[in-house]
Structures are given as C-alpha cells and as structure tokens.
C-alpha cells in the first residue's frame, strides 16, 4: 500500500540573483525509489540540501507525513526521519565505525552534562556491532576500526546503514556510487533495493542512467531549477530520459546513437 | 537523545543476513593484535624517543636527574603544557591559534596594570583580564567560522594586535608582579617539596587540566564532535553537529588556557612582562605535533601532547647540560621535530594501508 511521505509544493530558492530552484513540486511515497536526474547545475543538489536542512527555502511548502514542516538545520531533517548520504562526504574517516554511526546522536550517560556528557561506550560498541550484522555487512568488520581502513564500497554501506538505523522514512543518496568499483556499485544498488523492500523511501541522485533503470520506480528530471518530467521507470527508455535531461530532440539523439 | 528509536523492534532488521564468519579469534591473537595496535599508535614512538632522550641525558651528565635540575624543568614545563592542551583540541578540530604567546603576556600585564593604576583587587583584575582574553578567543573563533578566513591568518593578525597592545600599554617595560597577600598566589604559583625536589602548583594544574582534556577528547560527546569536525567538517555538519559553536568554544578555551599559563608564570617569577611568551605559539604547536596530533585535524592525542611537552622541554634542558652552546640548540630541536614527523608520517601511511 503506497502512502505519501514527502511532498514539496512550489519550492523556490535563490542565491543572490541566481534562481537555483523555482516552483519545484514533487512527491515521494513509501517503499519507492525515486531517481532524481538532471545535468550539472540543474538544481538537484540545491533541492537535496533544502530537504536535508543544509539551507532553507525562500518559498513553497514541505510536507512530511501530511504535516507541513520547516526544516532549518540537519537535525530538524533527521528528527523528521530524513537521512541524507552526501556525495563522498558523509563519514569522518579518522573516527571509528561505531563513532561514525552515532555521530550527532551519541548515546550518553549523565545527559544533563550537555556536550560534556560521557559517551556510553559499551552501548555504542554493542549497538554498532549489532547494526553491522543486522544490515548484512558480511565481512567481520570491527566496530572500533577507523573508517580510513575501509574500502569505498564498505564506507558507502556504513553510511547507508547509518541512515537505516534510525528507521528513517526517507533516505537521500547523493551519487552514492561515485568512485566505486563495479562490484561495490552492485553492492550499493542491491542495498538500495533492500532498503526499499524494508519500507523506506529512497531519493537517489545520480548521473548514471543505467543504474537508474536497475533500481528506480520513478524518474524525476530537473532542468534549470525546476522539474521537467516525472515518469514511471517502467515503460520508458534510456534515450528518452537522456533527451529530457539535455532538452534535446529525441529524434536527433536517435540519429546520433545510430551514427556512433 | 533518540536512542529509544534504536531499541524499537522490527524496522529494517534483516537478521537472516547474519553471516559472522571467522569470529573465533583466540586469546593469543587478540593479545598480539592489541600489541600491534599499541605499537602503531603515534604516542608510542614519541614515548620511546622520550625514554631514549632521558637515558641519554642521564648518562651524559649526572646532574640531569639532580633535584635542582628536575625542579627547574618542572617549574617551566607546565606553563607550556597547559597551552598545549588547548592547542591539541583546537588542532584536532582542524584549526590552530598563533596568538597564544601574545595572550600569555596580555592577561597578566592587563591585570597588573589594573591593580597598579586602578587600585583594584588582584582577583577582580584577573577576572577582567580573563574576560578580555575570552573576547580575544571569541573574536578568533568568529572570524574563522563566520567570515571563513583561515585560522592561520586570523590568529597571526591577532598575535600582532595583542602583542602590540600589550607592549604599548606597558611602554615595553615589565611590571612588578603583585606583592600583597592573596590566596591566588599560593594557589597558582605556590611551591612544595617532594623529597628534595621542589614542585610548583602549576604541575598540579597541568595534571588536572590534562585529565580534563583527555576526558573531553576521548570520552565525551563533544570530543567525538571535535574529532569529526577536524576529520570531515561537512559530514559533521550534515549529522547536526554544531561545528561553528564547537570551534568558537575551542578558540575561547585555548585563549583562556594561555592566559592561565601566563598568569601562573607572572606570579611565579613576580614579573609581568609584555614580551613574555614570545614564540610560544610555535613551540607549543611543535609539542602537540611531535606528540602525534595531526596538523590537518581529525586525529588528536592528549597523552601524545603530554609526551611531546616533556620531550621538547627535556631536550632543550638536556642539550644545554651536555654542553651544546645555547645558540645551537634550536638546530637540535628543529632536527628532532623533523625526525618525529617523518616517523609519524611513515606510521600513518602503513596503518592506512593495513
């Protein structure tokens, strides 16, 4: 049963004289992978940053689970169940896996001490180990190992596990397969399907249209700060989507493809 | 916090994927990996070099371990050590502070000026001095985080501003330090004997503050944030960590620690000099980095800093004792710092490949 978890209505955002987003409207349902496509500068990152609380919006409404919300900072977004995995930058590589998994949400004892409160290290370690097993990271990873010691794919898995652990409603993945090998990319794509099957919604940003067709249920294309297409992945083709992204004529593209 | 979410049943659990192979690590194996982990720590190599230095200087000159020399060594060492603690936290968060040496002179000088010219009580004067110091730290932090200028440039400018103000306020002359009766003097700069060795109160302050800094960095919530900010600031911000507030707090703490060290020093030698603490910023950064804290942030160690403080002070002291001319000792200190950095870099490379 599909239910709407996130709806954007006429969202707009400018930076000085540059209008990065205009009238963006979008819905995401439960258990759905929505691929967000668009050329560089189309406004994908700006949109994601607005949803994940890295910057505000100028106009429009954001509705989560039927309620209009204001997202002022990343913590607001996380509390609403929106977890974002940013491109290459979601983990602190010098910290251990366990410390990364709970970064910003550390379990503490004596919470009245505020930021100086002592970390509940045994609990941190135990929950981290549980999580690593639960999300099916097959290798016997030590929760105390620094992220530095992991491969790119393992790091991405850790970042995605972190998003899953707080039972996020919506997981946003910003180019999660960048800089990954073939095997690791397949791992991440498989992971995305599992996340969906477990009932989470996923917004998946990528440049790789082939990956989109492997995992996405719906494809949303942005161009020049606005949504130009919102189509079901089933029943469309790579060329068609490419044409929408670049704004080129589909016929010309087909001719090009035949020539090369 | 939202920990209750973690214990909620159901959710995304995929217990069927439990594939825990090679879990049977024997006791001996655990022990050996623990040893190897210890050896790979940057603090370990610093500690070994510290031990070698102590052995070498003891053999080279038997006065090295004499009560008088130890007392001299320990009188001065905590003052730099206290600054180094703040610097360690700041470096771990990816910033550094070149104004600590200037602040070291500024706080006692301003306080003494107030005592001498405004006739106010030393305690009150110090409160004003520390408050102004906190403003200096706050200014450093705001310029770095809110305007986005590198901490190198901001604190370099602050070094000149603060040192210049201190020199101008005193017209370059040292001020006789406070001579009246006050509880603050024995508390900050008193001394006591253990056996034949004379200790100053500052060593206790250093020990207490080091314990506090160790706790904060390794065991507190904010310590996790500090390392995360230095390691990957954007990631920390994306997880809701108030990175700017943490950095500003660290700049203030570092300034206050430098002011405390300067005040202790001024009371100990009964003189507040406007040129005190000259070039301490570089010495302190060297101590911190030699101890194994990364200059680029993300990796900090208080134990390493304590080792670094002892190492640099002992080498300065020992080199004079073995008869190297005073003017030549920076050659040795510089060489040693380079050697330590090469060792740390080599170990870092190996551990990230492993």
**What is the residue-averaged pLDDT of chain B?**
85
Residue A146 and residue A152 in contact, taking contact as beta carbons nearer than 8 Å: no
Q: Which residue of A lies nearest to B11 if distances are taken between CA atoms?
A: A167
Which pLDDT belongs to residue A18? Answer: 87
- Beta bridge pairs of residue A221: A37, A229
Residue B348 and residue B298 in contact, taking contact as beta carbons nearer than 8 Å: no
* Separation of alpha carbons A131 and A95, rounded Å: 17
- Beta bridge pairs of residue A90: none
**Which residues does chain B have within 8 Å of residue A126's beta carbon, measured at their own beta carbons?**
none
Contact A89 B232 (CB under 8 A): yes
Indicate whether B31 pLDDT > 50: yes
Mean of the pLDDT values across residues B246-275? 94
* Most B CBs within 10 Å, among A80, A104, A132, to test the B interface: A104
* Separation of alpha carbons B109 and B272, rounded Å: 5
At residue A144, φ and ψ (nearest 5 deg) are -90, -5
What is the number of other CB atoms lying within 10 angstroms of the CB of residue B130?
Answer: 18
Which pLDDT belongs to residue B13? Answer: 35
Which top CATH class is B42-349? Answer: mainly alpha
A214-255 pLDDT, tens per residue? 889 999 999 888 888 888 888 888 888 888 887 776 666 666
**Which residues does chain B have within 8 Å of residue A133's beta carbon, measured at their own beta carbons?**
17-18, 20
Report the number of secondary-structure helices (H) and strands (E) in chain B.
Answer: 15, 4
Q: Which residue has the higher pLDDT, A125 or B251?
A: B251
Q: How confident is the model at residue B185 (pLDDT cuts 50, 70, 90)?
A: confident
A63-72 pLDDT, tens per residue? 998 899 999 9
DSSP, collapsed to helix, strand or coil, labels residue B331 as helix
Angle between helices B280-290 and B100-113 (to 10 degrees): 130
Among A205-219, B22-36, B151-165, top mean pLDDT goes to B151-165
What is the number of other CB atoms lying within 10 angstroms of the CB of residue B37?
Answer: 12
Count of CA atoms in the C-beta half-sphere (13 A) of B13 = 10
Indicate whether B178 pLDDT > 90: no
Mean of the pLDDT values across residues A129-156? 76
Mean of the pLDDT values across residues B251-279? 93
The CA R_g of chain A, rounded to the nearest whole Å, is: 19
* Separation of alpha carbons B291 and B285, rounded Å: 10
Q: How confident is the model at residue A209 (pLDDT cuts 50, 70, 90)?
A: confident
What is the number of other CB atoms lying within 10 angstroms of the CB of residue A185?
Answer: 20
Contact B1 A93 (CB under 8 A): no
Q: Which residue of B lies nearest to A79 if distances are taken between CA atoms?
A: B2
Mean of the pLDDT values across residues B62-75? 88
Indicate whether B24 pLDDT > 50: no
* Separation of alpha carbons A126 and A135, rounded Å: 14
Concatenating the DSSP letter of every residue in A130-144 gives HHHHHTT--S---TT
Which pLDDT belongs to residue B253? Answer: 97
Indicate whether B15 pLDDT > 50: no
Which residue is listed with tokens 């000159």?
B61
Q: How confident is the model at residue A184 (pLDDT cuts 50, 70, 90)?
A: confident
What is the number of other CB atoms lying within 10 angstroms of the CB of residue B345?
Answer: 12
B118-138 pLDDT, tens per residue? 888 888 999 999 999 999 999
Residue A68 and residue A61 in contact, taking contact as beta carbons nearer than 8 Å: yes
Mean of the pLDDT values across residues B309-327? 86
Residue B251 and residue B137 in contact, taking contact as beta carbons nearer than 8 Å: yes
Mean of the pLDDT values across residues B8-14? 36
A199: left (phi over 0), alpha (psi -120 to 50) or beta: left
Among A17-31, A39-53, B335-349, the range scoring the smallest mean pLDDT is: B335-349
B1-10 pLDDT, tens per residue? 344 433 333 3
Q: How confident is the model at residue A137 (pLDDT cuts 50, 70, 90)?
A: low
From residue A84, give the alpha-carbon distance in Å to each of A77, B8, B100.
9, 21, 39
Indicate whether B22 pLDDT > 70: no
Q: Which residue of B lies nearest to A101 if distances are taken between CA atoms?
A: B239
Which pLDDT belongs to residue B120? Answer: 87
**Which residues does chain A have within 8 Å of residue B20's beta carbon, measured at their own beta carbons?**
133, 140
Contact B240 A78 (CB under 8 A): yes
B72-107 pLDDT, tens per residue? 889 889 999 999 999 999 999 999 999 999 999 999
From residue A174, give the alpha-carbon distance in Å to each of A36, A83, A85, A241, B198.
9, 11, 6, 19, 61
The answer to whether A171 contacts chain B (CB < 8 Å) is no
Which pLDDT belongs to residue B351? Answer: 63
A86-115 pLDDT, tens per residue? 876 678 989 998 999 888 888 899 888 888
Name the CATH topology of A4-92+170-259. Answer: Rossmann fold (3.40.50)
Report the number of secondary-structure helices (H) and strands (E) in chain A.
Answer: 9, 10
B269-305 pLDDT, tens per residue? 888 899 999 999 999 999 999 998 988 889 999 999 9
Total CB pairs under 8 A between chain A and B = 142
Q: Which residue has the higher pLDDT, B240 or B251?
A: B251
Q: Would you kindly state where each structural domain of chain A is located, as residue ranges?
A: 4-92+170-259
* Most A CBs within 10 Å, among B229, B240, B250, to test the A interface: B240
Indicate whether A119 pLDDT > 60: yes
The answer to whether A148 contacts chain B (CB < 8 Å) is yes
Which pLDDT belongs to residue A186? Answer: 82
* Separation of alpha carbons A196 and A29, rounded Å: 11
Which pLDDT belongs to residue B217? Answer: 95
Provide, for chain B, the percentages of residues in helix, strand and coil under a 3-state DSSP scheme, each rounded to the nearest 5: 75, 5, 20
The answer to whether A115 contacts chain B (CB < 8 Å) is yes
- Beta bridge pairs of residue A67: A64
**Which residues does chain A have within 8 Å of residue B22's beta carbon, measured at their own beta carbons?**
140
Q: How confident is the model at residue B321 (pLDDT cuts 50, 70, 90)?
A: confident
DSSP, collapsed to helix, strand or coil, labels residue A22 as strand
Distance from CA of B219 to the nearest CA of A (A): 5
């Amino acid at each position: 049963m599909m239910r709407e978890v996130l709806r954007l209505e006429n969202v707009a955002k400018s930076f000085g004289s540059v209008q990065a987003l205009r009238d963006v409207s979008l819905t995401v349902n439960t258990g759905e992978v929505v691929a967000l496509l668009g050329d560089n500068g189309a406004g994908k990152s700006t949109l994601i940053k607005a949803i994940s609380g890295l910057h505000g919006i100028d106009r429009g409404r954001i509705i989560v689970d039927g309620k209009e919300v204001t997202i002022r900072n990343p913590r607001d977004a996380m509390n609403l169940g929106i977890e974002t995995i940013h491109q290459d930058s979601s983990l602190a590589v010098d910290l251990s896996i366990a410390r990364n998994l709970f970064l910003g949400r550390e379990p503490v004892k004596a919470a009245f001490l505020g930021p100086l409160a002592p970390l509940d290290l045994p609990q941190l370690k135990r929950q981290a180990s549980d999580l690593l097993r639960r999300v099916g990271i097959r290798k016997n990873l030590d929760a105390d190992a620094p992220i530095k010691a992991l491969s790119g794919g393992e790091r991405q898995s850790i970042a995605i596990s972190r998003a899953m652990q707080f039972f996020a409603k919506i997981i946003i993945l910003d180019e999660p397969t960048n800089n990954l090998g073939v095997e690791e990319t397949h791992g991440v794509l498989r992971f995305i399907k599992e996340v969906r099957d477990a009932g989470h919604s996923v917004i998946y940003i990528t440049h790789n249209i082939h990956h989109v067709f492997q995992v996405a249920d719906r494809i949303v294309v942005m161009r020049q700060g606005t949504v130009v297409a919102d189509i079901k992945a089933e029943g469309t083709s790579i060329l068609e989507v490419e044409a929408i992204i670049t704004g080129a004529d589909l016929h010309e593209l087909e001719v090009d493809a035949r020539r090369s | 916090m939202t920990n209750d979410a973690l214990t909620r049943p159901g959710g995304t659990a995929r217990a069927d994927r439990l594939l825990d192979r090679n879990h049977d690590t024997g006791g001996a194996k655990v022990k050996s990996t623990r040893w190897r982990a210890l050896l790979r720590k940057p603090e370990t190599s610093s500690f070994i070099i510290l031990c070698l230095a102590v052995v070498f200087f003891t053999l080279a000159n038997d006065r090295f371990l004499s009560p008088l020399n130890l007392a001299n060594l320990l009188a001065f060492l905590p003052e730099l050590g206290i600054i180094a603690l703040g610097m360690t936290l700041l470096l771990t968060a990816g910033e550094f502070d070149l104004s600590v040496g200037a602040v070291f002179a500024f706080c006692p000088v301003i306080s003494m000026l107030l005592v001498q010219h405004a006739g106010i009580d030393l305690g009150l004067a110090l409160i004003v001095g520390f408050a102004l110091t906190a403003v200096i730290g706050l200014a450093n932090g705001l310029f770095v985080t809110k305007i986005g200028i590198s901490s190198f440039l901001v604190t370099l400018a602050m070094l000149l501003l603060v040192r210049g103000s201190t020199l101008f306020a005193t017209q370059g002359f040292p001020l006789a330090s406070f001579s009246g009766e006050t509880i603050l003097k024995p508390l900050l700069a008193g001394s006591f004997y253990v056996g034949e060795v004379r200790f100053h109160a500052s060593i206790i302050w250093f020990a207490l503050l080091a314990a506090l800094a160790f706790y904060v960095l390794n065991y507190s919530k904010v310590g996790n944030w500090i390392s995360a900010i230095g390691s990957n600031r954007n990631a920390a911000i994306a997880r809701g960590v108030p990175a700017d507030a943490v950095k500003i707090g660290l700049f203030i703490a570092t300034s206050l620690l430098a002011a405390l060290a300067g005040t202790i020093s001024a009371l100990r030698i009964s003189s507040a000099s406007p040129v005190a603490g000259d070039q301490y910023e570089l010495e302190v950064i060297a101590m911190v980095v030699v101890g194994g804290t990364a200059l680029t942030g993300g990796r900090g160690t208080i134990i390493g800093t304590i080792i670094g403080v002892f190492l640099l002070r002992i080498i300065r002291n020992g080199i004079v004792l073995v008869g190297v001319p005073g003017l030549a000792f920076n050659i040795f200190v510089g060489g040693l710092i380079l050697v330590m950095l090469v060792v740390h870099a080599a170990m870092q490379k190996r551990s990230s490949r492993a």
